Structure 1
Amino acid sequence: MDSEKMEQILQIFNKIDVCCVSTLNGNIIKNRMMHFVYDEEKGVIYLTSTKNDPKVIQLKINSNISLLIYDKGKNFPEDKEIEISGFAKILNKESERERAIKLLINRSPVVKNLVEIKKDELLTFIEVKPILIKFRIVADILRGIQPYVIETGNVNKEETELEILKRKIKAWIEESRYPFLSVSILTVTLGTAMAWINNNIINFYDFFLTLLGVIFLHIGTNIINDYFDHKTGNDDINNEFVRPFSGGARMIQMGLLTSFEVLIGGILFFTLGSTIGIYFIYKYGYPILIIGIIGILSGVFYVSPKINFVKSGIGEILVGTNLGVLTTIGSYYVQTRTFSLDAFLLSIPFGILITCILLINEIPDFVADSKTDKKTIAVRIGKEKTIKLFIYLIFLSYLILILYAILFKWYVIFSLVSVPIAIKTIKHAMKNFNNSFELAKSNGLTILVFNITIITIILTNIFLTANFNIFIVLAIFGIFYVVWMYRTIIKQHQAFIKLKGIANA
């Protein structure tokens, strides 16, 4: 080993704090400048980025990575570069993260600022293990001298079948847009809980099967919409999306899944959901068939090219009706074989709140939707009027809940516990609707308003059935989930503000 060359490499590692990082999006190479630090003791390099950043997702799915470090000399022949090929590892152990923070804090302004405000949990730390290092000096290249090469591992390592499988599974989990599945889970649970309190009966097997069927259909809708948004070019030109609220799952755009794979995935999940629906049709009759047909047609033709419910102006209403009303009354029917007026009426405010989630998520996509003629409500009436409609609908949902509590079940009044969060959401949205980056807080809080409101009613229903043990377990889980979600939204927003401040500094 050439000690002089090694000394030069170490000097460059210590001198330069930014490198070009290349990762793979499927077959597409993506480059970005990132701060780095070399850990001489372990012989690895540390990088960092925010959680759910495309770079992090790429490395979770494909760990191959390449770094290029450039040291500009006094004149061109003195220029040097270090090319590193290796494998990346996401650091999850606290001791590993602490070591990376300790070394990066004086190199990366992002790490320094987030550590100062105690928000470093928003960062993902990456360890790069080099397998091939090439050191080039321009003067040597001009004289025909080959680069100095260090091999520390198997350069020609190929992915195993298991690694490919893991990579694809991770991509499909992201493609499902799983954070939004709580909407379907909670409305199915609401319908089942109302059947329980009204009739003192519950079939847990049918409940879990209903839950599974609705989740499959919800995932199928998410996936098929990503496919159509890709075909129209919508997601491809969308540069103002705020993950995970808008812009789709972006697995196609990041090259992690092909458009054909996404199409087949959407068809598969619709088939799985429909199979469960057919079972319930056979068992409980044609009402399930009607609900299922409405749900599937709405999901498939939400943004499809030929029949497009969004362009027709009814897309948002259909989403609220499907995920709010039909899933609630359908779950009620599966348990009781009857429909209930009070279950139907109680489902309406949640259908409205789901429409609100959709409305505020449309705002970051405004420019891309306008360019591709995706006539969402936001595109039709503009951002400001969309926020006004958003506010009116939130007030309407609470008005219906109050009237329902007066006319039917008094305990529904407890759902107003979410009002302070709703007011906070509205104020923030009114102030920041023209800034997608800032609006992200309201996107998250709108989902939280829905979750708190519906969870409160579900828990109250269960409590009144005198199933105290189940109530305690679900109450603890519900409170933990709501607190975790609120803290995550607030921390993410604070980090956004801090990062924006760093960028503008």
Structure 2
Amino acid sequence: MPTLKDWVEAARPRTLPLALASIGMGAFLAASVEQFRWEVLVLTVLTTIFLQVLSNFANDYGDSIHGADSNDREGPQRAVQSGAISPAAMRRAMSLFALLSFVSGVTLLLISIQWNIQVLVVFLGLGLLAIAAAITYTSGKKPYGYAGLGDISVLIFFGLVGVLGSFYLHTAFFDPLTILPALSCGLLSVAVLNVNNIRDIKTDALAGKKSIPVRLGRSRAVIYHWLLLSVGITCSVVFVLLSYNTAYQWIFLLSVPLLIKNGIAVQTKKQAVELDPYLKQLALSTLIYVLTFGIGHLL
């Protein structure tokens, strides 16, 4: 019988700051044009948490079923792999959080968009895609994470959809310039996934999980990591240059040393146990980047 601790560990709370970063960015951008809505923020936070927990449960289940979370895995042990939670119980939990995500998302749309049918259909479709992406990353007959497509999915949902979607739900309009901070969030989120995949490169290769690091090899995956970090920050620099008002907008540069520290760690630390803490470090650094970016645009 799984304990509450088992479920909390399977939910992976340390991934939540990264999930909340993109909707936080959207909310800050909306506030900078005086269109912020508290009820939208609360519901986007709730929906995002449900989706992230769903994704983590599905990842735990799928990797255990497909062999990536074997006894040879060097990262933290997973709930289904260890036997703490049975596959059947995890499937039920996945169904529950898929339902919670859907109900919360529909409530969000009805409050923010109301009965604008065309926009409602678009966002409902995006929401269903997000639920499907969370489940099929490592679950199902052909999980796209095993084909190395996880990076693209993260860029889309943790970047473009998360930031642009939440900005629209606050403001009811689309600003093309916000694509740049959306890309920043997305690329830094992909970098977090890349740290995870570099850590698990050996066991993923054995399980047939063709992540980007498995395809590139470790040395090229490190170069890819530096590109993700540098291009992510460059997008924000370009955004500030194009929308410059005050020097406060550059406050986000205070987060750059944290990103550099992560890049150095990924490059130099070869053991999984040494690299694992830098998953949390980069997720928190991304959240700090969003907070400093947002505060700088409100001052």
Same fold flag (TM > 0.5): yes
Question: Secondary structure of the equivalent of 1:310?
Answer: helix
Question: Secondary structure of the equivalent of 1:322?
Answer: helix
**CA deviation after TM superposition for structure 1 residue 204, in Å:** 1.3
Query: Is residue 2:106 matched to residue 1:275?
Result: no
Relative to 1, partners in 2 of residues 1:444 and 1:172: Cα closer, same or farther, differing over 3 Å?
Answer: closer
Query: Is residue 2:278 matched to residue 1:442?
Result: yes
Question: Secondary structure of the equivalent of 1:399?
Answer: helix
Among candidates 184, 189, 200, match of residue 354 of structure 1: 189
Among candidates 285, 293, 299, match of residue 457 of structure 1: 293
Which residue in the other structure is 1:326 paired with?
Answer: 161
Which residue in the other structure is 1:231 paired with?
Answer: 65
Letter paired with 1:368: T
Relative to 1, partners in 2 of residues 1:257 and 1:298: Cα closer, same or farther, differing over 3 Å?
Answer: same
**CA deviation after TM superposition for structure 1 residue 266, in Å:** 1.2
RMSD: 1.9
Query: Is residue 2:262 matched to residue 1:428?
Result: no
Which residue in the other structure is 1:203 paired with?
Answer: 37
Which residue in the other structure is 2:117 paired with?
Answer: none
Q: Which has the higher contact order (CA 8 A, sep 6+)?
A: 2
What is the distance in 2 between the residues matched to 1:398 and 1:282?
A: 35
Among candidates 253, 257, 269, match of residue 416 of structure 1: 253
- Aligned residues, how many? 290
Letter paired with 1:443: L
Identify, as 1 or 2, the structure richer in helix: 2
Letter paired with 1:269: F
What is the distance in 2 between the residues matched to 1:443 and 1:386?
A: 15
Which residue in the other structure is 1:108 paired with?
Answer: none
What is the distance in 1 between the residues matched to 2:258 and 2:235?
A: 18
Q: Does structure 2 retain, via aligned residues, the 8 Å contact 1:401–1:413?
A: no
**CA deviation after TM superposition for structure 1 residue 255, in Å:** 2.5
Question: Secondary structure of the equivalent of 1:236?
Answer: coil
**CA deviation after TM superposition for structure 1 residue 188, in Å:** 1.3
Letter paired with 2:227: Y
**CA deviation after TM superposition for structure 1 residue 418, in Å:** 1.5
Matched ranges for 1:384-423 at <5 A: 384-409=219-244, 411-423=248-260
**CA deviation after TM superposition for structure 1 residue 441, in Å:** 4.5
> In the TM superposition, what whole-angstrom CA distance separates every residue of 1:396-442 from its partner, at most 9, and x where no partner exists?
1121111111012454422111222222222232222x322222343
Which residue in the other structure is 1:174 paired with?
Answer: 9
Query: Is residue 2:77 matched to residue 1:255?
Result: no
Relative to 1, partners in 2 of residues 1:170 and 1:309: Cα closer, same or farther, differing over 3 Å?
Answer: same
Give the TM-score normalised by structure 2: 0.90
Which residue in the other structure is 1:296 paired with?
Answer: 131
Q: Does structure 2 retain, via aligned residues, the 8 Å contact 1:238–1:367?
A: no
What is the distance in 1 between the residues matched to 2:253 and 2:201?
A: 31
What is the distance in 1 between the residues matched to 2:81 and 2:162?
A: 31
**CA deviation after TM superposition for structure 1 residue 301, in Å:** 1.6
Among candidates 92, 96, 102, match of residue 264 of structure 1: 92
Unaligned runs of 5+ in 1: 1-25, 27-166, 465-505
Relative to 1, partners in 2 of residues 1:442 and 1:191: Cα closer, same or farther, differing over 3 Å?
Answer: same
Letter paired with 2:127: G
What is the distance in 1 between the residues matched to 2:210 and 2:88?
A: 25
What is the distance in 1 between the residues matched to 2:272 and 2:126?
A: 35
Which residue in the other structure is 1:338 paired with?
Answer: 173
Percent identity of the aligned residues?
25
**CA deviation after TM superposition for structure 1 residue 219, in Å:** 0.7
**CA deviation after TM superposition for structure 1 residue 234, in Å:** 1.7
Unaligned runs of 5+ in 2: 114-119
Relative to 1, partners in 2 of residues 1:420 and 1:202: Cα closer, same or farther, differing over 3 Å?
Answer: closer
Identify, as 1 or 2, the structure richer in strand: 1
**CA deviation after TM superposition for structure 1 residue 214, in Å:** 1.2
Among candidates 168, 180, 198, match of residue 363 of structure 1: 198
What is the distance in 1 between the residues matched to 2:217 and 2:140?
A: 23
Letter paired with 1:225: N
Moved over 6 A (4+): none
Which residue in the other structure is 1:134 paired with?
Answer: none
- Rg bigger for which structure? 1
What is the distance in 2 between the residues matched to 1:456 and 1:184?
A: 17
Give the TM-score normalised by structure 1: 0.54
Q: Does structure 2 retain, via aligned residues, the 8 Å contact 1:425–1:445?
A: yes
**CA deviation after TM superposition for structure 1 residue 190, in Å:** 1.7
